[in-house]
Chains A and B, each alone.
Chain A
Amino acid sequence: MPTPYDAMWEKLNLDLDAHAGLLSVLGKFYGDIYLTQQGRLKGMEYLDFVLSEVHGLRIQELQEAKAQGKKVIGTFCVFVPEELVLAADGIQVGLCAGAEAGKGEAEKILPRNTCALIKSFVGFKLSRLCPYIESSDLIVGETTCDGKKKAYEIFSDYAPVYVMEIPQMKNACDRDLWKAELLRFKEKIEEITGNAITAPKLREAIRKVNDRRRVLQRLNRLRANVPTPISGRDVLLINQISFYDDPDRFTAKIGELCDELESRIKAGEGIVPKQTPRLMLSGCPMAVPNWKLPYVIESSGAVIVGEESCIGTRNIRDLVSERAETLEEMLDAIADRYLRIDCACFTPNTERLDHISEMAKELNVDGVIHFALSFCQPYTMEAFKVEKILKEAGVPMLSIETDYSMEDVEQLKTRVEAFVEMVRK
């Protein structure tokens, strides 16, 4: 079926037939997982719309911006400082990495036992299925794991790649390295966009990104209510969309959604009954459309009330200090804020363990489901530590290792249902 975007997609050199197939699978999947939910919020209509236009209207906006000389910077990681991109009048977007599309292609140039996320972004590129990758003037990688680090070397044969070095420890010398990397990135962005990053521009960008973090923090505070007023699936979707929607529009729309949540809470209404077991998800990021596990959890009689993940709290917990005045001070504030991210690539990484037990307590959860992508060493390894710390806190944990395929759905259902039975009071 022809769409108004065909010409644009063709210009972006997408594989039109395969892309149409991907969109129809995505649409069906979305319908099953999202649109069947009962008592959904009105504010979610906006997110349904954005998702339905994930490869359409938003890409058109990017193309229009590009026609006016703006540059698009694509990333796969929350370490890439969007503030600098925005301050140089660029647009930062998260790239496709949450579906099995192009897996076969990816396995031609990557080992089979590579994590699904890496295989996915390479597969999306090789199969010409991601309009975000095709719209990007620069793709910014980072060294958060060996798999990604090496994959970017291979990826750079197919796309313009720039890699930031993320330190692995948090000592003073690591802070120095990270600051130097920020400055190197700033230069690169200034060069790509042709715009100098000035103090007023950066101040404005910091505010803009902080505002988006603030509205997501507000959302997290509201959902912590008993009964929770919004499903975990919906919050995950909101977090996913935050990576590619226009930041100002997104902040405004999620603010409206939060208002709606407030009135629900006042009326004592929840998305599920009060006694529904409350679970928290912890671990690897879940890029669109990786909704498998959240769907299994929420159709097993539980509700997700928190995501300790890069597509979740890890990305919004800390703000960049807005007290800085000079450009130098702002860069320092950015460096400090990003170095607080408790990615499993760090050693030691006790902050993450502390955050998990704090969250479990604050959100009043009955259990934690730890999610790791198969072959993601940092998170599969940390799962053992997380389980230990939660055990001490008296919170049961279920460790799940899976990928984007559907072959283990029945197995997952049994495990998750048994866990829900176990934690139900």
Chain B
Amino acid sequence: MRGSETVAGIDIGSRSIELVVLLDQKIVHQAKVPTTFDPLGQCKKLMENAKPSRMVATGYGRKLFADSSGEVQVETITEIQAYALGARHLFPEAQTILDIGGQDTKVILLTPAGRVAKFEMNDRCAAGTGKFLEFMATALQIPLESFGEFALASDRRIQINSMCTVFAESEATSLMARGEGPENIAMGLHLAIVQRTMAMLRRIGMESPLLFAGGVAHNPCIRMLLEELLGEPLIVPENPDMVGALGAALYGTRSR
């Protein structure tokens, strides 16, 4: 890469879109917008002042963006590779990456050299993803941003048996009707996600340390429960939802 080139990475997910612009491997700009029903319009807004010489898209909307990007040629990579690149750049010691996003949960096992050795994604439905949390927060009438704090105020652990978003909602509703505290129900819902995540981590043969990225990594209750069940500390980047966009941008800096 030449010295003065700016390289942008954009991560178009189901719930949010992130942009990272690099100059000489350093972040010179980063921003985030909700995806809404007009992802391309949102991308355009996000790109308004950024005029990168190279551009890499990742996430669910990567093809859509690349196909409609006009004069700038856009390369695409999958979220798997983007998260691997971004996470390793931030924390070279990371061995396993967990990314819980809007509709996908991914676990990625890295080789010692930092390449993807193995990965797993959740199945078709949104069980155990950010969407599940969002839906349940709405059901309990708690703002999503404070849902984790709310759950941490619980005084006992209850088991939510259903992982299906719709069934879990009715389970929560009937617990509520029986007089269970909403904080405890919220904790039960968080626990359900973490148990499902743990199963994925075990299946892939997780190696420590684990880096937790994606929007759900902002949630303190999920972080606490993960550390508790893992029995060890997690690595959580300062901006966990920017890791994919960063990885995409880093991909753009490699020599062609």
Contacts and interface: CB of A to CB of B under 8 A. Distances in A.
Interface in A397-425: 407-408, 410-411, 414-415, 417-418, 421-422
A270 interface: no
Contact of B80 (A408, A411, A414): A414
A414 B78 CA distance: 6
Contacts of B18: none
A201 B79 CA distance: 59
Residue among B79, B116, B117 having the largest count of chain A Cβ atoms under 10 Å: B116
B121 A411 contact: yes
A396 interface: yes
Contacts of B60: 410, 414
Given A408-B124, A410-B60, A418 B78 contact: yes
Contacts of A407: 124
B124 A421 contact: no
Interface string A281-307: 000000000000000000000000000
Nearest to B76: A417
A421 B79 contact: no
A396 B121 CA distance: 16
A396 B118 CA distance: 8
Contacts of B80: 414, 418, 421-422
B126 to A, nearest CB: 12
Q: Report, as a range, how many residues of chain A touch the other chain.
A: 10 to 19
A421 B81 contact: yes
A418 B116 contact: yes
Contacts of A421: 77-78, 80-81, 116
A297 to B, nearest CB: 14
B135 interface: no
Interface string B66-110: 000000000001111100000000000000000000001000000
Contacts of B117: 396, 422
B115 interface: yes
Interface string B224-255: 00000000000000000000000000000000
Contacts of B81: 418, 421-422
Contacts of A396: 117-118
A415 to B, nearest CB: 6
Contacts of A411: 121, 124
A323 B77 CA distance: 55
A422 B106 CA distance: 15
Contacts of B118: 396
A415 B124 contact: no
B12 to A, nearest CB: 12
A415 B122 CA distance: 11
Given A414-B78, A417-B78, A422 B119 contact: yes
Interface of B: 60, 77-81, 104, 115-119, 121, 124
22 contacts: A407-B124, A408-B124, A410-B60, A411-B121, A411-B124, A414-B60, A414-B79, A414-B80, A414-B104, A414-B121, A415-B121, A418-B78, A418-B79, A418-B80, A418-B116, A418-B119, A421-B77, A421-B80, A421-B81, A422-B115, A422-B116, A422-B119
Given A414-B78, A418-B81, A422-B119, 7 more contacts: A396-B118, A411-B124, A414-B121, A417-B78, A418-B78, A418-B80, A421-B116
Lowest 6 A-B CB distances belong to which pairs?
A418-B80, A418-B78, A422-B116, A421-B81, A417-B78, A414-B78
